[in-house]
Amino acid sequence: MDTRSLCLELSRRLLGMGQMLVTAESCTGGLIAARCTDLAGSSQWFERGFVSYSNAAKTDLLDVPSALIAQNGAVSEVVVRAMAMGALAHSHAHVSVAVTGIAGPSGGSPDKPVGTVWFAWCVDHHVDSELRVFEGDRHAVREATVQHALRGLLARLE
C-alpha cells in the first residue's frame, strides 16, 4: 500500500473512532505530518505535529527529560516512548506516533548504524515501541520510516 492509501485508511479509521492523531518526529522532520495533511479534510482527524529534531526540542516541546537523552541517546526506546507520551500531553489528540533515528549519511555508530529508527505508538493509553534498521540513503530511510510509522499505527488501531 502506498503512503496516500495508508493515510486514507488511517483517516477512515480515526474518523470512525472519533479520534485525532498527533505526531512527534525527529529523523523524518515532519514528513509523517506532511503526508497526513496532504489529504483534504485532514483537520478532522489530524490534530498537530511536533518536529523535535534537536535534543533541546525534545525536552522543550515534549518534556523528554534531558537526563534521559544524555543517558540513553536521542535514538533510543526510552526517548521515543517519552516523545509519544509528551506529544499526547501537549495536544488534544487521542493517538500518537513518534519516531527518532539516524537517517544518514553520517551520524551512525557500530551500536546505532545509519538507518536505525525507533518507533512508538500510543493508542488507548498503551505505548508500544519497535526498533527497525532500514537500508538505503537518507531519502530511502526517511520514506521507509514514514511508511512503517503509518502501517504500525493502522495495525494498532484495528
Fold of 3-157: Maf protein (3.90.950)
Paired with 25 in beta bridges are 51, 99
Over range 81-104, report the average pLDDT: 98
Which residues in 91-111 are b (16+ Cβ under 10 Å) and which e? bebbbbbbbbbbbbeeeeeee
pTM score: 0.97
Which pLDDT value is given to residue 53? 97
Which pLDDT value is given to residue 99? 98
Which pLDDT value is given to residue 64? 98
